[in-house]
Every structure is written in structure tokens, then in C-alpha cells.
Amino acid sequence: MPRIRLPLPDPEKPPPGPFRPEFWRSPLRSPQLTAMLGLVLLIGLPAVALTGLLSNDAYQPGLGGNALGRDVHGPLDFYLFGWPTGPSWLYAFTQGAHVIIGLAVFPVVLAKLWSVIPRLFEWPPVRSPAHALERLSLALLVGSALFEFVTGILNIQYWYAFPFDFTQAHYYGAWVFIGALLAHIPLKLPTMRRSLALRKAVLDGAGPLASPAVDAHARPLTSPNPGPTTLTRRGLLTAVGGASLILVLQGVGQSVGGPLRSLAFLLPRGRTRPGPLGFPVNKTWIGTGLHRGAVGVKWRLTVRGQRTVVFTREQLLALPQHTYDLPIACVEGWSTTQSWTGVRVQDLAALAGASGRMMLTTVSLEQGTYGSATLGHEQVSDPETLLALRVNGLDLPLDHGYPARIISPAIPGVHCTKWVSEMQFQTVEA
Ligand SMILES: Nc1nc2c(c(=O)[nH]1)N[C@H]1C(S)=C(S)[C@@H](COP(=O)(O)O)O[C@H]1N2
Ligand SMILES: [Mo]
């Protein structure tokens, strides 16, 4: 058998173009720049990941029909705790933080990728099995980071430009990202610390910068053939920081709302389409395509527990009414607190003979993804969880879910079903 020889690339002779170190001419690239950006991401990225996992928990995907929307759960579908109902602004806070910090670090991620781009064209592309593994983990890290940021930002703009389900893709993409990040941090932490220490030594007057020799094989980030300086490093960092700040203002305007809402120049809801009471409408009544008659005098609410009870809106209004200030906090990051009045979900459970640890499935007149949601025991047993009939002292507007909608403290807005027609209480094991 003749030995087959693969034409291995000559390590000394990279093909022309980006594979040659002198192709990369920016005088700004250096291990120190990469380390500074890395330090910001070392704090920012775990914060985004953690608040994202909290958001997943708040969606209560373990309950039928919620979030991941699957009945079969894989090994990564774990939820550490039942989502609490207090403080009522909890989800508005964690999700606002997820969106704001995510927006803030996005320009830093792009700058960091720019700072290491010569490494993408290392020559030879693969030196050893270990090197191949390292490059694969980097490909997963960069790919999943870009995927998470792009899908997240498109999603908060309500631009569903992708053919797959956002929640599932963003959730499983996050696990790829978290795994790759956990592998990357311990590998690169020593390099980052050495680069920052070196920078400090230079600032303290210890002499000219020398690249820290951490990995002798890796392509140096500093250009061997630097072009003229057109932007200082401080100028670059100011531009990146400025971009972050603008996006943070957008995020704060969107999440905190109120007068700050006018800051949110990218806001897809509320600025361009304020609701009838001046707070955002996610899906409008017209958007459901339902017939007006469906919410007229013929509308009934069916409540199923041990027995089935049917209510007209007048009968619901004749039950004890309670008023609470509660936020609607959407996964897209916006939130708004209003004063809701209606019947306690607890009271409706009692009228249908349901008791003990319960979960509740709400069904809307509207069918489809948002037409049903499940609330867990924590929500059902909270006295502030209402079937709201009125908001800010007025009958619910059609756009906000007339004749009746769910409102419950600290949960994602997507669980606050509008145009409710049926409530099903089920007893669950403790
Ligand atoms: N039937 C139905 N209920 C719904 C929705 C919907 O599209 N259809 N959107 C949900 C989402 S995602 C949010 S954030 C809130 C928004 O409530 P609002 O439109 O009254 O602000 O309603 C929730 N309830
Ligand atoms: Mo939402």
C-alpha cells in the first residue's frame, strides 16, 4: 500500500492576503486593547447569561404550553425554582437588565471580535489536534455569541426575520454560548491579566510595550506592519463606549418607561402605537382577526375546577373586586405599571370547587401561540393575581383584553392572557 500524503500547508508560506500577518495594519490592535475589552465582557457576558436564564425560569417552561412549548423535556430544560410573585417588579427588573446589559455589551463584543480578527486567518489553519479543538471552541463561542445577540436584538424589535422559534433557538443557543464561554475564560484569563499588568507597568513608566509571550505559536495581535494612526486607542474606546451608552439609553427608555420612554428611539411599541390608555399594546384587537360579536353580550367565561361554572361579565363585576398596581413586563424589555381591578383568581378557583396546590391554564378567544398560558401554584395562590375587568378605573379597552384578562405580579407579560374565555384549574402534587 503506498502511503497517501496529504498536501500539508507550508507553515512558512501563508497564501497572500489575510493569512499574512502584515496584511493587518491597524496600529490599534494589541493584546492590551483585547484585554481591556475582554475585562468588560468578563463582567457583562455572565450578567447577560444569568438574567437570560432567570427569564427562562420566569417563563415556567415546565408547565404545559409555556415558553419552550414542548411536552418532552431534554437534559438542558431544567428550572431551578418556581418563579416567585414578589416583588411585583421582579421580572420587569431581571428582563430589563437582560435587555439593557445585552445592548450595552454588544458594541464591546463587536470591538473585541475586531481586535482579534487576524487570529481568524492563522497560518497554518490547524497545527495540532489540540489547536483544532481550540479553534472549534472559538468558532462555537463566536458563532453562538453572534447568534444570541442578533436574534435577541431582532426579537426586541419584533422583527421575526428568522424561520425558527425564537424562544427555543435563543435558549439552546445560550447553552452553546455558556459552554464555550466557560471553556474560554480559564484559557484566556492568564493572558488577559498579563496584558493588563504589562499595560500598567508601561503606564507607570517601566519602558516600551512588549507583547506578553503567552502562546508562542499564536499570531501576534500587534501588526508587524502598522499603517498610519488615524484614530487613537482612546478614540476607539470612546466610540465603543459611546455606542454602548446610546444603546443603554434606548434600553432604559424602553424598560423603565414613563417620561424616559421618549429616549427609546428604537422602541417598536408605544412610541409609534400607544394604546388607548397611553400604555403599550402588544397585539391589538384588530390584529386578532376576531369578530366583534365574540366579546359582546354573548361572551361568557367558563371556569373549570371540580365543577364547571359559567359567568357573564355582569356576574363577574358583582363578585368582590380588588385593585392592584401591577406591571406588564414583556420579554422584549418594555414594561408599564397600571392599576388593575377585577376578581381574584383564588376566588374563581373556590367558586369552581378547586382547592389545594393548583395550576391554572387560561384560554383566550384568540387561538395560536399567545392564546393560552399556564400559571403555577405561586401565581394562582397569590391574592394579587386577578382576572382583570377594568384598568385605571375604566372598563378594559378591547386592545388590552376586554372583556377580561389575566394580570399577575412578577410574571412575564406573555402569561397575562387577554380576551380570556376559559380558565381551567388543575390540582398538582406538592
Ligand atoms: N390573547 C392574547 N393575550 C396576550 C397576548 C396576545 O398576543 N394574545 N400578548 C401577550 C404579551 S406577549 C404581552 S407582553 C401582554 C401585553 O399586554 P398589553 O397589550 O395589554 O400591553 O399581553 C399578553 N397577552
Ligand atoms: Mo410580551
Local confidence pLDDT in tens for the 430 residues of the chain = 566 666 667 888 899 999 999 999 999 999 999 999 999 999 999 999 999 999 999 988 878 777 665 566 677 777 778 899 999 999 999 999 999 999 999 999 999 999 999 999 999 999 999 999 999 999 999 999 999 999 999 998 888 888 998 988 999 999 999 999 999 999 999 999 999 999 888 888 876 555 555 556 778 899 999 999 999 999 999 999 999 999 999 888 877 777 787 888 777 665 555 678 888 888 899 999 999 999 999 999 999 999 999 999 999 999 999 999 999 999 888 888 999 999 999 999 999 999 999 999 999 999 888 889 999 999 999 999 999 999 999 999 999 999 999 999 999 999 999 999 999 999 988 7
For residue 371, the CA-to-ligand 1 centroid distance in Å is 9
Residue 366 near ligand 1, beta carbon < 6 Å:
yes
| pTM of the predicted structure, to 2 decimals | 0.92
Gap between the Cα atoms of 79 and 175, Å rounded: 14
For residue 89, the CA-to-ligand 2 centroid distance in Å is 15
- For ligand 1, atom 15: residue with the closest CA: 413
The pLDDT of residue 268 is 65
Residue 330 near ligand 1, beta carbon < 6 Å:
yes
For residue 370, the CA-to-ligand 1 centroid distance in Å is 7
For residue 282, the CA-to-ligand 2 centroid distance in Å is 7
Among candidates 327, 359, 408, which has minimal Cα distance to 65?
359
Q: Which ligand is nearest to the CA of 327?
A: 1
Strand 335-344 to 386-391 pairing: antiparallel
Chain CA centroid to CA 100, Å: 10
* Ligand 1 atom at minimum distance from 400 CA: 20
The pLDDT of residue 266 is 73
For residue 165, the CA-to-ligand 2 centroid distance in Å is 15
For residue 147, the CA-to-ligand 1 centroid distance in Å is 26
**Fold designation for 285-427:** Sulfite Oxidase; Chain A, domain 2 (3.90.420)
Please, are residues 428 and 357 in contact by the beta-carbon 8 Å criterion? yes
Gap between the Cα atoms of 98 and 49, Å rounded: 8
* Ligand 1 atom at minimum distance from 418 CA: 3
Residue 33 near ligand 1, beta carbon < 6 Å:
no
Domain residue ranges of the chain, discontinuous segments joined by + = 21-259, 285-427
- For ligand 1, atom 2: residue with the closest CA: 418
For the record, the C-alpha cell of 411 comes out as: 410574571
User: Which of 155, 328, 364, 418 to mutate to test ligand 1, by most ligand atoms within 8 A of the CB atom?
Assistant: 418
Residue 148 near ligand 1, beta carbon < 6 Å:
no
What sign results for the dihedral spanned by CA atoms 375, 380, 382, 388? positive
* Ligand 1 atom at minimum distance from 283 CA: 7
Start-to-end Cα distance in the chain:
68
Which residue, chain included where needed, has cell 418563579?
83
Give, in degrees to the nearest 5, the angle at Cα 139 between 4 and 134: 65
